[in-house]
Amino acid sequence: MKKKILIISGGISKERIISLETGKQVAKELKKHNYLVRTCEPDKDLLLTIKDFKPNCIFNALHGQFGEDGYIQTILETIGIPYTHSGVIASAKAMDKEISKKIFLKNKILTPKYFVYNFDKTNKELISFVKKKFNFPVVIKPINEGSSVNVYICTKNDLLKNLKFLKDYKKVMIEQFIPGREIQSAIIGKKKLGAIELKPKRKFYDYQAKYNSNAKTEHIIPVDLSKKKYKTLMNITLKAHNLMGCRGVTRSDFKYFNGKFYLLEINTQPGMTKLSLVPEISAYIGINFINLIKLILKDASIDK
């Protein structure tokens, strides 16, 4: 009997387009391999669709707010059907950059210095505070967005200007800028998938570099690291995955500088588009796209 997979994609976050593309790619691959597939939005018809289709498993292809922050996971928990990727608590912790940082630091995982800013200082006070804390340049970002949405690298001269673009958020993170190499690594279940290095032509690996094929980001695999350093990288990646309580696939973003790995964040629902990194890492070690999807489905569960 054919397995039924319901793919939830789209949603209301700023990553809607990427989510739709992830859902489309996964659906196309599953259909090619004899699965019964239906795709839907996380809207008022979701529960009716689930009741009508009766899937064996739900593939969560949502990205960003509502999709990977514990909200949709809470809804799926009440239904009692296995769903892919991390559960409620792990998703909420990983999506919140402040909580993630605290967990990293508590467990001796190196991460850039930071503070949370809630627009409570005068311009002069803020500039002075940043100088004392870790100096310029700095990175500013929302606490709970993905895909480098609204992330800016700022000098003293453009910090205040760029902060205006984030004024709709209640609070933002201001983080020490770490130069160096951009390396990302992935886990599936408890297995270390591998890593990839990125050399963006843009200022850094931002939203355009991730999803615009014209951005011409260079992907380097295998990563040029000694065996010892590579082992260290993958051990940190697995440690972060386990500390958060993640399941399924995760991708961790690092900066490598002066022989040290700085963990920026962990992504509980990395993209599965043609330009996405996890399928590329998987393919390099001999796991093709359909087998990667099968591994993700195999690790689907309900939080206990």
Catalytic residues: 15, 147, 211, 251, 253, 265, 267, 271
Tell me if residue 302 falls in helix, strand or coil. coil
Q: Token pair for residue 205?
A: 């690996």
Those residues with Cβ within 8 angstroms of residue 280's Cβ, 6 or more apart along the chain or in another chain: 196, 219, 221
Alpha carbons 278 and 11: distance in angstroms, whole number:
22
- Helix ranges, 43-183 (H): 46-53, 71-79, 88-95, 97-106, 123-133, 159-164
* Strands across the sheet containing 36-40: 36-40, 4-8, 57-60
CA distances from 50 to 88, 183, 207 (A): 19, 38, 32
Q: Using omega within 30 degrees of 0 as the cis cutoff, is the peptide bond preceding 222 cis?
A: yes
- Residue for token pair 């009440």: 78
Element (H, E) at 16: helix 16-32
Q: Measured at the alpha carbon of residue 137, what is the angle toward residues 134 and 141, in degrees to the nearest 5?
A: 90
Q: Measured at the alpha carbon of residue 20, what is the angle toward residues 5 and 297, in degrees to the nearest 5?
A: 30
